[in-house]
Amino acid sequence: MADEGGALPAREAVAREVAGRAGVGLEGVTILVIEDPGYQAYMRRMGAVAVTPSDLESPRIDLMPEAFTSLEGLARTLGHERNHVAQLMLYGPPGTESLERWEEASVLVEDQYVGYLRGELT
């Protein structure tokens, strides 16, 4: 893995290592690093570096290479998406009226994972 100040290799193993260091539980969650050019173009048009698909039978987090720009950025993204996994497991796919609340809640947990990564939280 690259030093903590630079970009990280865009690989599943790196995402899992950072998740472990940040306290993001990914047991049972598939990690997909997006390599398909069409999928990447779609995600870039959406302005997203990650997504948690809601139409799958088992939880998956899809990560763009851009999600690996920094250690803390990746930890923040993984924590955010892991929160969406929990939301899907608890409530099923969101309705249109829930999307904004789900996103707000997921943003709120991001700092917790960065704090854990930094050793500020135990």
pLDDT tens track for 52-69? 999 988 999 999 999 999
Residue-range definition of the domain harbouring residue 107:
12-112
Per the structure, how many domains does the chain have? 1
Tell which wins on pLDDT, 56 or 2: 56
Q: Does some domain include residue 7?
A: no
Q: Does some domain include residue 5?
A: no
Tell me how far apart the alpha carbons of residues 70 and 25 are, in angstroms, rounded to a whole number.
19
Tens of pLDDT along 15-39?
999 999 999 999 999 999 999 999 9
Q: At 116, which amino acid appears?
A: Y
Q: Does some domain include residue 1?
A: no
Q: In what order do the strands lie in the sheet with 50-51?
A: 30-33, 60-63, 50-51
Q: Does some domain include residue 2?
A: no
pLDDT at 3 over 90: no
> Nearest CA to 76 among 15, 119, 27, 120?
15
Q: Does some domain include residue 118?
A: no
